[in-house]
Structures are given as C-alpha cells and as structure tokens.
Amino acid sequence: MKDLISALGLLLFIEGLFFAIFPTRIKNMLKVVDKIPETKLRSAGIFFLILGFLIVWYIKNK
C-alpha cells in the first residue's frame, strides 16, 4: 500500500510540474487530443495500461 501511495504522489508531482512549467503547451495538447477519435484514445489507453502493469510486475518480481 505504501508503494501505491508513493506512486500516486509521484504521478501527481510530475503532472503538476508539467502544468506549472508548460501551461500553454498543455492547453494546446488538450485541443489536439480532443480531435482524436475515441477508439484511438481507448487503444492507446489500453496499451499504456498493459505496459505500465508489465513494468510494475517486472520490477516487483525481479
């Protein structure tokens, strides 16, 4: 549980850092993402979900 909370904290830190340093680019990127079809977004989400799971699984079982 401690690892999960640490991971969430790190995720929030990195996202906050990007929003603080590049607010205009983030807004432009969100406009581009709005134009991408939902099926492509869903496919990319599933890909990154599996990739993230495999990375965590590999690190935990190493």
What does the pLDDT look like over 1-57, one tens digit per residue?
888 899 899 999 999 999 999 999 999 999 999 999 999 999 999 999 999 999 989
Query: What domain count does the chain have?
Result: 1
Q: How many CA atoms lie within 13 A of 28 on its CB side?
A: 4
| DSSP H helical ranges for 22-37 | 23-35
Cα–Cα distances in angstroms (integers) from residue 18 to residues 3, 8, 26, 32, 39, in the given order: 23, 16, 8, 17, 26
Q: Which structural domain range is residue 18 located in? A: 2-61
CA angle 45, 47, 52 (to 5 degrees): 95
- Give SS3 for 53: helix
The pLDDT value given to residue 54:
94
